[in-house]
Amino acid sequence: MPEGRSLEYVPADHPYMLEAKKAREECAGDPLFPNGAILVRDGQVMVRAGNGYNQGSQTVHVCPRVVQECPSGTGYDLCPLHDHDGHAEAMLMKVATEQGINVHGADVYMYGHWWCCEPCWTKMIEVGVARVFVTDDAHERFSRDRVYAETFKSSLRSVYVSGALTNLPADKVQTHKAYYEGIARVCQSMGIQAYVPHLHTDPEQHPQVSVREVFDYDTEKIAAMDAIVADVTYPSLGTGGELMIAYHAKKPLVLLSERGVPVSRFALGNPAVVYHLEYEDYFEALRRLPNILRQL
Ligand SMILES: [Zn+2]
Ligand SMILES: [Zn+2]
């Protein structure tokens, strides 16, 4: 908190707070931690804004801060949506400047958060904001756990697990297959059904299945699933094809790869990719995956 500054508190049903709440609903582009703010001067609402670059609500965004479990107030640099410039207070100042509105002596009412970060204070002090109000129960109402409990509801019912099989290095065949099955268990623990191709059409276990059947079966399965989790550590023609099916079927695609392993830029550039997680080992991949899935 900057010297000589403190937050002011009003009840959540204060008329200006209700306006800020409306700004949160209408202007916040951040689906995970929405925050709205208004600027009031001489009893008039001058500007309204929300966090997340004013994209409008319901933007699909998998936040790396959540995936990496960054403590409150840290890791903003990881996320373009949650960077300081996208905070509601900063957005409010930006909109005011664009509209040529004099902010000096005005008050800010904020609904969705219980504090302001340092860069936001700096921005508001610079332009002469007088007071900053939050709700008198903001600490509880907008605690991280409480907001996340509301916004972290995975909408996925099923996931297709994609990854190299045929050309896996010989010493990786068993561990990598076990890892694919681990991905399925992570999904199932979240109530998400998972389809693991090698359990159905593995070239060694199920040699009687014809190549055309494999193609038809896997293609059909992807189309029926809500999302695809693909490990792209080892190049695979099959996985590459599945990534393209995901693209055409507009299915969210989560890419996983071992840190330091180069991944095809064609795969990384697929617009269906909602997140690319680089992991140190299988354990980290499986530990972080729920943090991604619950944002989808
Ligand atoms: Zn973020
Ligand atoms: Zn801030």
How far, in Å, is the centroid of ligand 2 from the Cα of 147?
17
Q: Which ligand is nearest to the CA of 115?
A: 2
Which residue, 241, 215, 223, is CA-closest to 163?
241
Q: Cα 61 from chain centroid?
A: 4
Range name among 32-41, 51-60, 159-168, 283-292 with the lowest pLDDT average: 51-60
Confidence of residue 93 (pLDDT cuts 50, 70, 90): very high
Higher pLDDT, 59 or 245: 245
Q: Which ligand is nearest to the CA of 86?
A: 2
Instruction: State both tokens at 103.
Output: 């902010």
Residue 55 has pLDDT above 80, yes or no: no
Q: What is the pLDDT of residue 56?
A: 58
How far, in Å, is the centroid of ligand 2 from the Cα of 103?
17
How far, in Å, is the centroid of ligand 1 from the Cα of 75?
9
Instruction: State both tokens at 4.
Output: 């000589």
How far, in Å, is the centroid of ligand 1 from the Cα of 62?
7
Q: Which ligand is nearest to the CA of 84?
A: 2
Rounded mean pLDDT, 22-27: 94
How far, in Å, is the centroid of ligand 1 from the Cα of 82?
4
Residue 159: strand pairing partners: 194, 227
How far, in Å, is the centroid of ligand 1 from the Cα of 184?
26
How far, in Å, is the centroid of ligand 2 from the Cα of 159?
35
Residue 155 has pLDDT above 80, yes or no: yes
Q: What is the pLDDT of residue 58?
A: 56
- CATH code of the domain made up of 8-151: 3.40.140.10
How far, in Å, is the centroid of ligand 1 from the Cα of 69?
11
The pairing of strands 107-111 and 36-41 is antiparallel
pLDDT tens across 229-261, in order? 999 999 999 999 999 999 999 999 999 999 999
Q: Which strand (E) or helix (H) includes residue 254? A: strand 253-258
| pTM over cut 0.85 | no
Confidence of residue 54 (pLDDT cuts 50, 70, 90): low
Count other Cβ atoms within 10 Å, centred on residue 108: 28
Could you tell me what percent of the chain has a pLDDT over 70? Answer: 98
- CATH code of the domain made up of 158-293: 3.40.50.450
How far, in Å, is the centroid of ligand 1 from the Cα of 270?
20
Q: What is the pLDDT of residue 59?
A: 63
Interior CA angle at 75 toward 70 and 80, to 5°?
Answer: 125
Where do the domains of the chain lie?
8-151, 158-293
How far, in Å, is the centroid of ligand 1 from the Cα of 221?
31
Residue 110 has pLDDT above 70, yes or no: yes
Rounded mean pLDDT, 150-173: 93
Q: Using CB atoms within 10 A of its CB, is residue 42 exposed (0-12), middle (13-18) or buried (19+)? A: exposed
Indicate the average pLDDT of the chain: 92
Residues 263, 244: Cα–Cα separation, whole Å: 15
